[in-house]
């Protein structure tokens, strides 16, 4: 529960940093990087089963190639 609240506070702080006009540029860049990384992690998490299936197919192809 603590980590859930902490991540919610960090996410709200990131949005506040992006929206605030007088925030330092370095903090604004870090906020954008954090936001984009979290979006990327979310996309990977949503497509996890498809990524896993694709990796299994590639592994099977490599194993069959090395068996010959």
Q: What is the pLDDT of residues 21-44, one digit of tens each?
A: 888 989 899 999 999 999 999 999
Please check the confidence at residue 58 and state whether its pLDDT lies above 80.
yes
Tokens found for residue 43: 């996309």
What pLDDT score does 67 carry?
80
Mean pLDDT, rounded, of the chain: 91
At residue 3, the pLDDT reads 87
Residue spans of alpha helices (H) in 1-24:
2-19
Q: What is the pLDDT of residue 23?
A: 87
Q: Give 31: exposed, middle or buried? Use CB within 10 Å, 0-12, 13-18, 19+.
A: buried
Asked whether the beta carbons of 17 and 27 are under 8 A apart, the reply is yes
Residue showing tokens 């299994």: 56
Between 66 and 53, residue with greater pLDDT: 53
Query: Region 47-58: what's the mean pLDDT?
Result: 96
């Amino acid at each position: 529960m603590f980590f859930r609240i902490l991540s919610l506070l960090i996410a709200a702080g990131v949005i506040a940093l992006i929206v605030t006009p007088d925030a330092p540029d370095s903090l604004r860049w870090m906020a954008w990087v954090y936001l984009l990384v979290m979006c990327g992690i979310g996309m990977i998490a949503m497509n996890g089963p498809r990524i896993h299936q694709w990796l299994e197919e590639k592994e099977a192809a490599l194993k069959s190639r090395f068996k010959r």
